[in-house]
Amino acid sequence: MTTNKFRLITSLLVGITWAAMTPVNSNASDSKRNVKKTFETYTVSYVSIENEEYYDLRRAYTGATVKQNTRPLNGVKLGIKSAKIIARSIGVKFKLLEHSLKENNTEEIVDLLVQTQSDAAILDIPKSTMLAVAKALAGKPILLFNSRHTDSELRGKDCHSQLFHTIPSDTMLMDALNQYLKSRNWNKVLVLAGPLKADSQLKNAYLRSANKFGVKIVADKPFELSNDPRDRSKTNISLLTGRPRHDVIFIADSLGEFSRYVPYQTYHSRLVAGSEGLIPDTWHWSWERYGAPQLNQRFKKMFNSQMTTTEWAGWVAVKALTSAARAVESVEYSKLLSAISSQDLVLDLYKGSPGNFRSWNNQLRQPILLRTHNAVIGRAPLENYLHHSNTLDTLGVDELESECVW
């Protein structure tokens, strides 16, 4: 090899090495780093009414709060926060809008949801207003969620195809309780019910469930909160619980003022269930299985309080949206509606069995917890109760029994 050829090859190698070490286009590289990925926004609205009587502090005569209703809002906020990773993977940003209205006005709520171009709405409003809003928005591209009302009629004759229920119905709750009672051979039940409409609603749901599971109602007695000695037959716990003979006392008491005094004051030593004692519930801070402690801890860290039933239902509403969106990798209305209605949807409810929505009434399938004030005693459906397609459908109204038509 001649000297000139050697020099030529050497210079070429040096040039190639230098080119490899030098950025080809630093400006292009910098601009690439500065480009922000754009995300499609999916708007979730939370609608509530200011100073609604339903959320007033319920104080007993001593000034203590016995039972207090809580809004689903904090659960919704946790759901939005938890959705960030899933949303990012499909190029979507879930945005929460909070609307607290001064008046309970259907037209105002509908106009608000339309004007804000809400894709979904979690309705924390009275039952009658919820029904009117669902009717007014029928056919419009918006998904509606009920995370508060347990009325069975909302899943029956008053159902709507766009309204999904993450809170269980009274029928589901009572079925869970009666499954447990039957499993223990406690077949004779004395019913005590208060004078309020909510008490009557709960009692009627229990009576229907008792008939379904073959539980015998030995007596149905009213109670009242009164100091009038003429009302002793409705206020004296020992008199109310003496005869006829029974295994269990079921109490329908939405205020909780009377029922808290029933345990340990009954004529016979008997289990108390329903609004006091053994309570069928959606969620409880003492539930310690299937990842529930982690969810409760995340909620406690974020809000410094224990997660309640309605807050859990609000969290699940957002989780249902994000899980459906991930399944179809889209938030386009028709695709999302199809996905959230699909019987193949799998929702991790942290209760041991995956959930999805019943095709005949949009009720979320879910296990029900049976709890005391500080412990979960059992989980329904119990092992002995089977169903031809899904054991969760042993709780609540089955397809052939449903009055829902849309």
φ, ψ for residue 36 (rounded to 5)? -95, 135
Say whether 60 sits in a helix, a strand or coil.
Answer: coil
pLDDT, greater one: 56 or 332: 332
User: Looking at residue 39, what is its pLDDT?
Assistant: 78
Render pLDDT for 67-91 as a digit per residue (tens, 0 to 9): 889 999 999 999 999 998 888 888 9
* 345 in any annotated domain: yes
Q: Which of 281, 300, 315 is the last residue of a domain?
A: 281
Helical (H) or strand (E) element with 42: strand 40-49
Of 41-50, 55-64, 114-123, 146-155, least confident by mean pLDDT is 55-64
304 to 145, 294, 297, 333: CA distances (angstroms): 26, 14, 9, 35
The pLDDT > 90 percentage for the chain reads 78
* 305 in any annotated domain: yes
Residue 146 shares a structural domain with residue 290:
yes
Q: How many domains does the chain have?
A: 2
Q: Which of 212, 247, 281 is the last residue of a domain?
A: 281
Average pLDDT, integer, range 275-281 = 97
Residue 68 shares a structural domain with residue 162:
yes
Say whether 145 sits in a helix, a strand or coil.
Answer: strand
* 5 in any annotated domain: no
Name which of 329, 362, 347 is nearest 82 in CA terms: 347
Residue 103 shares a structural domain with residue 191:
no
Q: Give the span between the Cα atoms of 341 and 343, in whole angstroms.
A: 6
pLDDT at 350 over 50: yes
Residue 125 shares a structural domain with residue 76:
yes
Residue 233 shares a structural domain with residue 298:
no
pLDDT at 294 over 90: yes
Owning domain of residue 181: 172-281
Positive/negative CA dihedral, 332, 337, 340, 342: negative
* 400 in any annotated domain: no
Name the residue with tokens 């999904």: 164
Residue 242 shares a structural domain with residue 301:
no
* 22 in any annotated domain: no
158 to 66, 149, 155, 275: CA distances (angstroms): 31, 12, 7, 26
Q: Which of 249, 281, 313 is the last residue of a domain?
A: 281
Residue 334 shares a structural domain with residue 296:
yes
User: Looking at residue 369, what is its pLDDT?
Assistant: 98
* 233 in any annotated domain: yes
Residue 164 shares a structural domain with residue 307:
yes
Render pLDDT for 30-68 as a digit per residue (tens, 0 to 9): 444 444 567 799 999 999 999 999 998 766 555 666 788
* 28 in any annotated domain: no
Residue 42 shares a structural domain with residue 159:
yes
* 29 in any annotated domain: no
pLDDT at 325 over 50: yes
Q: Residue 220 maps to which CATH number?
A: 3.40.50.2300
Residue 207 shares a structural domain with residue 237:
yes
Residue 186 shares a structural domain with residue 160:
no
φ, ψ for residue 185 (rounded to 5)? 60, 30
Residue 277 shares a structural domain with residue 335:
no
Name which of 11, 332, 315, 299 is nearest 147 in CA terms: 315
